[in-house]
Amino acid sequence: MTARIFAYIEHKDSLADDSAAEFLSAAKKIDVAASPTAVVAGSGAGLDAVCTSLLGSYAEVWKVGNEALAYPNAELVRQALVAILPGGSILLVPHDHFGIDLSPGLSIKTNSAFVPDVVGIDGAEGSYLKLVRQEFGGQVSAHVRCDISYGAILNIRPGAFKAQEAAVSGSIVDKSPLVGTLTAKRRFLEKIAVDGGGIDISKEPVLVSIGRGIQEKDNVGIAQELADAMGAVVSCSRPVVDAKWLEKSRQVGSSGKIVKPKVYLACGISGSFQHLAGIKGNPFLVAINKNPKAPIFQVADIGIVDDILEFLPELTNQIRETCCVPSGK
Amino acid sequence: MEILVCAKRVPDTSENEIELNASGNDIERDDVVYSVNEADNYAVEEALQIVAREGGHVTVVTVGSEEDEEVLRREMAMGANQAVLLSDEAFTGSDGKGIATILKAYVTKNHFDLILTGVQAEDGAAQVGGMLAALLDYPYASLVNSIEVVDAKKLKVSREIEGGSKEVNEIDLPCVLSIQTGINEPRYVGMRGIRQVASVEIPTLGPAELGVDAGTVGEAGAKVKRVDYFVPEAGKGAEILQGKREEIIAKLIELMKAKGGLK
């Protein structure tokens, strides 16, 4: 195993993304002896701060400074990486809105293999890596064999590998002079935050969350009635927003809000990793789903196999009866 | 505007439970209901809406076999002007780059201003659009949730990024965009629409017509291969509440009270 391993470090507000620590353990699964090199692209003082913050965990930090990289436009970052990465390298990138934008095209330009959304690494055998992915929304997993003779770009699922500490005393290598002038046919204009509409689900302690299992817009009221009876708020998974049954501000997940409730009722939600990535703080998680094989049952504390359209109204009635009457009547 | 939409026929996860076959090398495909990949429907709808505003044509393409004609017909029933099937035994076993290579060959033999794909298919790879753009040296944007035509040379597109925020970009034409679900409301396709396109001839193109070197695609050209499917060893999993519905509800209320979910 001789391929050099690089970790692409995302950062925001001068802080490295959590994936920076996760890539240390992912690299060890490729090669126990690996000492991966961090690659950080950006500009100005923020870039320097991120590079410095990585010196305790990465033995070498490659700094790629360029004014054009002040915002991480994937097309510009790709040009910079093509300029600096040695042939045959393995590059780890977070499988998120940036990695999805960057890596497929980067793999073409570096003539290396690309494996998206990697959740496990079973190690190397000669010039092959054995990796684990998921398909069909996590219903089944797959072993994937990847030829790394010409290097590889591996998009790693955020959270799939344990964050690891390393005790090194690293150094920064400035690769900026190799980059040259960057120009793109796609230009970043602005970022627009989602409108919360008065309710902030990220601050609510109890959420009644609905998914595709709610089936139609008229049924959203069933969840709202339960939430009202519980003193909770209704949130949802992506398909409910796609169908325009609820506002975007109610969506829990990596492309929605990150929530930290005490109690989370997942109703008719299958439990895709994008949805689960939005649930933090280890809440008491109750899953109600008519499919006993729904992935949500793997992560829930309590599971109920039932049709939410029948179960939720009965639950609402029972809560109204037992909880609204003063105890000890 | 001439728009190409790349679509794929996939096992429909809302209609089927996905299970392994007996030997574990594939999912059980007998009796599986197939549909067009959900995100691809949004891509076709978006293409139709752009053409309705700006003029032009929508072509739908897929790499696959005869069975995949049904999704092409479905997208034609939605309103696409024409459809093309890229098919040959040599294409079987292609990885993402192989599929992108086949599509590139088709694109370079034609003229398209805009190429759309769905954001991802059943394998969750989200890769072919970005690879196709890089092969063509076109700009690319993924996770696109709105498109505005600025003029004949550029678009204003927004991408869905963390926290549901939008990242607004200007992008030169021709370009490739991967379309996020929810960008629009795909129109309904009735049986009547399907019948109207049932006998339309769909051209099939292979390596010779496309000028694709068979060694660069299919099994032979693939650097990435799926070895098998498996179901990971289940963790502890949820405690499944058993019994009659009233009993389950009583137990659930008790648990939620203990955990602070009910006062």
- How many distinct structural domains can be found in chain B? 1
- How many distinct structural domains can be found in chain A? 2
A contact residues 133-162, partner B, Cβ 8 Å cutoff: 133-137, 139-147, 150
For residue A191, being part of any structural domain is answered with no
Residues A213 and A270 in one domain: yes
For residue B239, being part of any structural domain is answered with no
Distance from CA of B81 to the nearest CA of A (A): 26
> Measured between alpha carbons, how far is A195 from B106 in angstroms, rounded to an integer?
42
Which of the residues B175, B224, B240, B248 would you substitute to probe the A interface, choosing the one with the greatest number of A C-beta atoms within 10 Å?
A: B224
Q: In chain B, whose CA is at the least distance from the CA of A248?
A: B164
Q: Which amino acid is at A9?
A: I
Distance from CA of A171 to the nearest CA of B (A): 31
B133 touches chain A (CB under 8 A): yes
| Residue A274: domain span | 201-323
Please return the burial class of A199, using the count of CB atoms within 10 Å of its CB with bins 0-12, 13-18 and 19+. middle
Residues A172 and A228 in one domain: no
Residues A75 and A207 in one domain: no
For residue B199, being part of any structural domain is answered with yes
Residues A142 and A226 in one domain: no
For residue B246, being part of any structural domain is answered with no
Name chain B contacts of A19, Cβ cutoff 8 Å. Answer: none
Q: What is the pLDDT of residue A329?
A: 34
Name chain A contacts of B172, Cβ cutoff 8 Å. Answer: 185-186
Which of the residues A302, A318, A320 would you substitute to probe the B interface, choosing the one with the greatest number of B C-beta atoms within 10 Å?
A: A302
pLDDT tens for the 329 residues of chain A, in order: 568 999 999 999 999 999 999 999 999 999 999 899 999 999 999 999 999 999 999 999 999 999 999 999 999 999 999 999 999 999 999 999 999 999 999 999 999 999 999 999 999 988 999 999 999 888 889 999 999 999 999 999 999 999 998 889 999 999 999 999 999 999 999 999 887 677 889 999 999 999 999 999 999 999 999 999 999 999 999 999 999 999 999 999 988 999 999 999 999 999 988 899 999 999 999 999 999 988 899 999 999 999 999 999 999 999 998 875 444 33
**ipTM here:** 0.93
Distance from CA of B249 to the nearest CA of A (A): 6
Residues A207 and A169 in one domain: no
Taking alpha carbons only, the member of B60, B59, B52 closest to residue B36 is: B60
> Measured between alpha carbons, how far is A92 from A160 in angstroms, rounded to an integer?
13
CATH code for the domain of A285? 3.40.50.1220
For residue A78, being part of any structural domain is answered with yes
Residues A15 and A134 in one domain: yes
A116 touches chain B (CB under 8 A): yes
For residue A56, being part of any structural domain is answered with yes
Residues A43 and A94 in one domain: yes
Q: For A137, left (φ over 0), alpha (ψ -120 to 50), or beta?
A: left
Residues A215 and A136 in one domain: no
Residues A89 and A124 in one domain: yes
Would you call A185 and B229 a contact, using CB atoms and an 8 Å cutoff? no
For residue B117, being part of any structural domain is answered with yes
Which of the residues B46, B173, B256 would you substitute to probe the A interface, choosing the one with the greatest number of A C-beta atoms within 10 Å?
A: B256
For residue B172, being part of any structural domain is answered with yes
Taking alpha carbons only, the member of B116, B105, B104, B100 closest to residue B47 is: B116
| pTM across the whole model | 0.91
Name chain A contacts of B13, Cβ cutoff 8 Å. Answer: 136-137, 139
| Residue B34: domain span | 2-221
Residues A93 and A242 in one domain: no
Distance from CA of B129 to the nearest CA of A (A): 8
Residues A230 and A117 in one domain: no
The residue out of A132, A147, A178 marking a domain boundary is A178
Token pair, residue A234, equals 């209704």
CATH code for the domain of A121? 3.40.50.620
Distance from CA of B124 to the nearest CA of A (A): 6
Q: What is the mean pLDDT of each run of 10 residues along chain B (263 residues)?
A: 97 82 86 92 98 98 96 97 97 97 98 97 95 98 98 97 92 98 94 92 96 94 94 82 95 93 81
For residue A329, being part of any structural domain is answered with no
Which of the residues A149, A255, A265, A273 would you substitute to probe the B interface, choosing the one with the greatest number of B C-beta atoms within 10 Å?
A: A255
For residue B68, being part of any structural domain is answered with yes
Residues A134 and A207 in one domain: no
CATH code for the domain of B148? 3.40.50.620
For residue A231, being part of any structural domain is answered with yes
